[in-house]
Amino acid sequence: MPEGDTVWRTARQLHRALSKAPLVRCDLRVPKLATVDLTGREVLETSARGKHVLTRFEGGLTLHSHLRMEGAWRVYAPGRRWSGGPGHQIRAVLATGAHSAVGYRLPVLELLRTADEDRAVGHLGPDLLGPDWDEAKALSRLLADPARPVAEALLDQRNLAGIGNVYAAELCFLVGVTPWLPVGEVPSPERLTALAKKLLEVNRARTLRVTTGDVRAGRNLWVYGRAGKPCPRCGTTVRTWVPGPSSTRRVAYWCPGCQTGPPPPSA
């Protein structure tokens, strides 16, 4: 699933391409929206809320989309070939005179009254890249269940919005704990929220996500995606844990040399 910084960039791209212009084409290819036509309405703005994309139109309507694992929005200039996937994967086309925004494989696409956006995003915690960011509130939610494994608590969008599997793994590394340590036992837990905010902010304009400070591909992350490779800090082999098919947990990465705490549940 895309991290919050990826969704933020997507929303910014859509905002720049579509805002302050009327739609000349609207094609929403999901059954419940098949008869909806927003042609002629001005696009007011597109913004991100956690991992949700909200495109607002004049007349008080919002198109809400969520990328989940496979979804993507692509922007094309007139005459440019659409290359985000085969035609049968297209779920939405929003076009102005200057650009076409094409939504591929969108698992969530719904039209809401703008006044009712909380139906889609009201459950989210403070947004790491949003104007509502409240570090004290995020920390309070994160620690509300102190026995919960730290990675699970970070991934719960009701605590703080924007963290995905990459950042959960990297944050656990940076504070020196395994993903399964109870969040209430993390030393100086306020470092988690402060680092999460810092990492998403510095990466929101980058296509290559960097947590190590090294912008070279292959050296940009500490542990995520590095299973079987030496830890960039201590040289210990980075390990991975894959949950069983019925588990709701996600794949985890950690360095046994740099991170202390409980082993994975299956160990």
119 is catalytic: no
* Residue 111 DSSP label: E
* Residue 43 DSSP label: E
Q: Are the C-beta atoms of residues 86 and 29 closer than 8 Å to each other?
A: no
Burial class (CB in 10 A: 0-12, 13-18, 19+), 217: exposed
Backbone angles phi, psi at 114, to 5 degrees: -55, -35
What DSSP line would sit under 106-138, residue for residue?
-SEEEEEEGGGTHHHHTT---BTTSTT--HHHH
For residue 71, give Cα distances in angstroms to 7, 32, 105.
Answer: 11, 18, 5
51 is catalytic: yes
**Three-class SS of residue 53?**
strand
204 is catalytic: no
For residue 141, give Cα distances in angstroms to 96, 126, 190, 193, 220.
Answer: 41, 10, 12, 11, 30
CA 60-65-71 angle, 5° bins:
160
Alpha carbons 138 and 127: distance in angstroms, whole number: 9
Based on its alpha-carbon atoms, the radius of gyration of the chain, rounded to whole angstroms, reads 20
Of the candidates 198, 1, 27, 178, which has an alpha carbon nearest to the alpha carbon of residue 100?
27
Q: Which of 29, 137, 148, 250 is catalytic?
A: 250
Q: Which of 3, 149, 189, 232 is catalytic?
A: 3
107 is catalytic: no
Which residues are identified as catalytic? 2-3, 51, 250
